[in-house]
Amino acid sequence: MTRLPALAVSALVTAAVLTPATAHAASPPFTESVFRATHNSYSGDVDGAKSSLTHQLDHGIRFLEFDVHDNGYATTHDYAVGHDSPGDAVDHSGGNPASNNLRDWLTTVNTWSAAHPAAAPIVVMLDLKDDLTDNPSYAAGNLTAVNQELESVFGGRLLRAKDYPAGQPSVDALRGRVLPLLSGDGKSRAEYKRDVGYHPAVTLNGRGQVVEVHDSGAGALWYWTGTYGADGRVTWLRHGKYDSGQTPAVALNDNGDLVEVHQSQSATTLWYHVGKLGADGEITWQASHQYDNGVLPTVAFTDPAGTRLREIHRSQSSSQNWDWDGVLSGTTVSWTGNAKTSDPRFAKATATSGTARVRVWTGADGPTPAQTLRVDTDRVAGDRIRYRQVAFDEFQKGDSAELQQGALFYGAPATESAFITSARQAGKLVRGWDFDSASEATTPLANYPATNHPYDAWYQTLLTGAAE
């Protein structure tokens, strides 16, 4: 790749991007524009020469990076900013937050954005330094908690990935908005886009509340909760691990009471849980209890009040089915009437309520794994069971095809000129990090040349005319 001198590149950039004088006369497409950007923005003058977040924003920076860790989330109820560890290379001076709590740093950005509604869109990137997929719940800091923090801090200024305008929105159309972006840990970025599991089961009540359960294939039991919407889509709210075992099934009544049954992972014992589904989508689980031996259990409520149950499973030693009658009382079920039955086990992968129907299954969606969790309804087919797509998900050089699928934001070290150029030519928003020399400029230039020295003369010259 031939690199041009700084002044020559500056001329090209100025011709291609927004200039202050013509900002509202001829606003270019967002993906064709170039913006000032910093690398490890939180490090200020500790690493590089960036100054405070407010100073960066005042001087045209429109891409901010925060390295985040989940250490101590259960105690602080927040993520921590830092390079190799919480607090590492963090500059608390110049008006930056005194704490390492991510919420405080995001609030600083939001305060500035609220005061500058005409500013070009700000990208806030969270570089995940830890694997969030091993956080077993919202309370422990899984990706639902990331979504919640972004939405609670930025409110109506947040432009969620799922709401990104079709076509080619202009810079002007996105002024005053904040775009969240996930980078870093590849497992977390992949799980944000899809989940995988085995033996999924689902239940749907008359209030449109949905609970899905599945096993990991390696002994863990997980749940998703959601709501069936007016458009026929399921919006997934919470996700978490609740026990160990396999082949789970679940029943939910209109009061939010649920009963889950499953087989142990290493034996043929059968167990049940009682749970309570909250308005926020979280489930409060009670302890598990063994109620029989067998395999492949299924369960359903059998009365309108949602207190009587029937459970049907298969014998561990033959094809014979057995059943139990149950009565839900408080946090336990009283099981009676165990007997052989010729009735089939309940169809646990499909649930109906009135005209609404939800079916869960596994299957690849393009390059995703064969065990990708999927959902159909009576009006929508083939959706993924996954986190709400609040944040964009960055595709980096060397990532898997499933991370590339549908990605708008691309990223690579500034020295990866071929990757940056190809992605720009494909209409992507491209970040080149550690962009610390004019010699690293490409044609076209990365949309976000993320530097540690944004006030150096070479960078100012190169970014003349960048969108602000």
Residue 444: asked if its preceding bond is cis (omega within 30°), the reply is yes
Query: Hey, what are 385's tokens?
Result: 């069971």
Q: Whole-prediction pTM value?
A: 0.93
Residue 128's DSSP bridge partners are 68, 184
Contact in structure between 272 and 291 (CB atoms under 8 Å): yes
Contact in structure between 47 and 40 (CB atoms under 8 Å): yes
The 10s digit of each residue's pLDDT in 418-432 is: 999 999 999 999 999
Taking 50 as the threshold, does the pLDDT of residue 451 lie above it?
A: yes
Nearest CA-CA partner of 390 in 157, 62, 172: 157
Element containing residue 460 per DSSP (H, E): helix 457-462
Contact in structure between 98 and 105 (CB atoms under 8 Å): no
Give the number of other CB atoms < 10 A from CB of residue 47. Answer: 16
DSSP-assigned letter for residue 195: -
Q: Which residues of 296-306 are buried (b: 16+ CB within 10 A; e: fewer)?
A: bbbbbbeeeeb
Please provide the DSSP assignment of 104-145 as one string: HHHHHHHHHHHH-TTSPPEEEEEEE-S-GGG--STTTT-HHH
Instruction: Give me the residue label for tokens 């497409």.
Output: 29
Contact in structure between 229 and 235 (CB atoms under 8 Å): yes
Instruction: Give me the residue label for tokens 């909760």.
Output: 225
The count of residues in the chain is: 468
Instruction: Say how far apart CA 425 and CA 447 lie, in whole Å.
Output: 11
High-pLDDT (> 70) share of the chain, %: 94
Q: What is the pLDDT of residue 119?
A: 98
User: What single-letter amino acid sits at 45?
Assistant: D
Instruction: Say how far apart CA 132 and CA 324 lie, in whole Å.
Output: 39
Give the number of other CB atoms < 10 A from CB of residue 446. Answer: 29
Sign of the CA dihedral with 429 first, then 459, 399, and 199 last:
negative
Taking 50 as the threshold, does the pLDDT of residue 337 lie above it?
A: yes
Alpha helices by DSSP H, 329-429:
401-404, 417-425
Query: Hey, what are 277's tokens?
Result: 């589904």
Instruction: Say how far apart CA 315 and CA 313 lie, in whole Å.
Output: 7
The 10s digit of each residue's pLDDT in 307-330 is: 999 999 999 999 999 999 999 999
Which value, in Å, is the radius of gyration of the alpha carbons in the chain? 26
Please provide the DSSP assignment of 315-353 as one string: -SSSS-EEEEEEEEETTEEEEEEEEEE-SPPP-TTEEEE
DSSP-assigned letter for residue 346: P
Taking 60 as the threshold, does the pLDDT of residue 37 lie above it?
A: yes
The 10s digit of each residue's pLDDT in 67-99 is: 999 988 989 999 999 999 999 999 999 999 999
Instruction: Say how far apart CA 240 and CA 138 lie, in whole Å.
Output: 7
Q: How confident is the model at residue 21 (pLDDT cuts 50, 70, 90)?
A: very low
Give the number of other CB atoms < 10 A from CB of residue 427. Answer: 12
DSSP-assigned letter for residue 205: -
The 10s digit of each residue's pLDDT in 138-187 is: 999 999 999 999 999 999 999 999 999 999 999 999 999 999 999 999 99
High-pLDDT (> 90) share of the chain, %: 93
Instruction: Say how far apart CA 210 and CA 225 lie, in whole Å.
Output: 6
Taking 70 as the threshold, does the pLDDT of residue 22 lie above it?
A: no
Q: How confident is the model at residue 27 (pLDDT cuts 50, 70, 90)?
A: confident
Contact in structure between 449 and 466 (CB atoms under 8 Å): no
Nearest CA-CA partner of 90 in 104, 77, 110: 104
Q: Which residues of 162-183 are buried (b: 16+ CB within 10 A; e: fewer)?
A: eeeeeeebbbbebbbbbbbbbb
SS3 content of the chain, % helix, strand, coil (to 5): 20, 35, 45
Q: What is the pLDDT of residue 30?
A: 98
Q: What is the pLDDT of residue 26?
A: 63
